[in-house]
Structure 1
Amino acid sequence: MEETGEKPFSVTLREGSWSDHSDSEGATFMEDIMRGIGSRQDYIDLVAQHYFMYEALEEAAMQLAADPATAAFHPAGIVRMPALEADLAALIGADWRERIAPVPATADYAARIREIAAEGWIAGIVAHHYTRYLGDLSGGQMIAKRVARQHGLSAEGIAFYDFAGLGAPTDFKNAYRAALDAFGATLDESERQRMLDEVRTAYGFNTAVFVDLGKAKAAKAAAA
């Protein structure tokens, strides 16, 4: 099905979820990190949550990589788990696996991704893939520079945000959006709306994770 005179699907997704994206960025915990006033522990806690999110997402993304119709979404250079493991080892130590845990919202987020993967709902997997990877590829670059400067981190501590394996970020993002447009053209209106709703759900999970991190931080401070 070819779109004629219609808004590109990538634009529909971006505009349809813009308010949710803004809410995510505005969560106080994340806002502090982006402003350079979060603590080193705040950053470590964020990296730990990324680990649990991407563990579920990259398991699900194998379904995209296995199909020529969706493989463009998930090239080898986009994989984040080895970088997250290296970052956690650098930030926490060799026993990092025993010292991290998901906050409730992260556990729910990962469960939702796994539910979609088990269902085999490809548009849903793409919705979460798009929300996470393009967000971390874009806004993440500023976060990486800021926390590296603020906390004196080495390349390993911010390896998660190093997408050099994808080539020029702008070129990749343009190719990704073109793939979204092509994918959207294969969906009927109902499925397009369902996918947009799932993108908004993904942003909601992101915001809930930041809120839970803020609550955990406040609880630690109160107990100290």
Structure 2
Amino acid sequence: MSPTSTPFSAELRAASKEAHQGAESQRYVSALVAGDLDRDAYAALVMQHHVIYEALEGAAEAMRHDPLAGPFVDDALTRLPALAADLEFLLGPGWRRRIEPTPATVAYAARLAALRAGAPERFIAHHYTRYLGDLSGGLHIGRSLARHYGLTGDAGAAFYRFDRIPSPKVYKDAYRARLDDLPLGEAGRAALRAEVLVAYRHNTEVLAALSHLAPATDAEASA
């Protein structure tokens, strides 16, 4: 990268800005952070996350020793144990039998599972979209959940707590530096940018599929 060129991480952020805003503006997300859902409606999202992260972290294990993608695989990010703890708190010991993935979640998980076949740029795109989101807006959501639903990192909202990452900002800065240093040509960068948008599309579709759990807006109620 020349001194005057745009860092690749900044390119990714700019390219996905609109898609990011689209995901954040989903009605389910607005209701969740406002405290307008009940615990069952919140648990529905935790179920989807478990299916998604089971696929993503399976792909991460397959990519652990890949020269391009391997440096991004970090056990400090692993979310499955936290999601299992959250589901056991919310649904009880038989939580696995109660998981109901939406068709959007099944499609997302299938896309992630396919990454095991060897697509490091695509894997990095999904890894970046999920985990940097968890360490950014996800932390805000976790605080909202604790405030509105009486949950803690030990009971129902462990997914949003990263005990092995004391400074999310420092971690994200180092992560972006790894993105900037990726030995990719323009074709590889273009493929990674395109897959980030695919990741956001899947994420948005998962959230949209949960919209029926959120209260109707004033406009919808009066229609």
Compute the TM-score of the two structures, normalised by the length of structure 2: 0.90
Shift of 1:216: 6.3
Q: CA deviation at 1:114?
A: 1.3
Indicate how the Cα distance of structure 1 residues 213 and 121 shifts in structure 2: closer, same or farther if over 3 A, else same: same
Which residue in 1 is equivalent to 2:208?
211
- Measure the CA separation in 1 of the matches of 2:203 and 2:151: 24
Inter-partner Cα distance in structure 2 for 1:36 and 1:25 = 15
Deviations along 1:152-201, one digit per CA (max 9) or x if unpaired, are 12323111111121221111000100011111xx1111221111111001
How far off its partner does 1:147 sit? Answer: 1.2
Letter of the 1:146 partner, please give it: S
Aligned with 1:145 (options 143, 154, 169) = 143
Matching of residue 161 in structure 1 with residue 160 in structure 2: yes
Identity of aligned residues (%): 43
State which of 172, 190, 194 in structure 1 corresponds to 2:191.
194
CA–CA distance in structure 2, aligned partners of residues 5 and 217 of structure 1: 46
Q: 1:121 aligns with which of 119, 122, 125?
A: 119
Q: Give the secondary structure class of the aligned counterpart of 2:4.
A: coil
Unaligned residue ranges in structure 1 (runs of 5+)? 219-224
Deviation string for 1:36-79 (max 9, x for gaps)?
22222221111110000000000111234223554332222111
CA contact (8 A) 2:34 2:148 kept: no
Deviation, structure 1 residue 217:
6.5
Q: Is the 8 A contact 1:72 1:176 kept in 2?
A: no
User: 2 CA distance for matches of 1:64 and 1:9?
Assistant: 21
- Contact 1:64–1:73 (CA<8 Å) still a contact in 2? no
In structure 2, relative to structure 1, the CA distance for the partners of 1:102 and 1:217 (3 Å cut) is: farther
The code of the aligned residue for 1:205 comes to H
Q: Does 1:98 align with 2:97?
A: yes
The answer as to whether partners of 2:126 and 2:199 remain within 8 angstroms in 1 is: yes
Q: Which runs of structure 2 are paired with 1:1-224 in the superposition (5 Å)? A: 2-67=1-66, 69-118=68-117, 120-154=118-152, 155-183=154-182, 186-215=183-212
Q: 2:119 & 2:3 partners in 1: Cα distance?
A: 26
8 A Cα contact 1:34 1:143, kept in partner: yes
Give unpaired runs (5+ residues) of structure 2: 216-223
Structure 1-normalised TM-score?
Answer: 0.90
CA deviations 1:68-94 (Å, max 9, x no partner) are 554332222111111111110011100
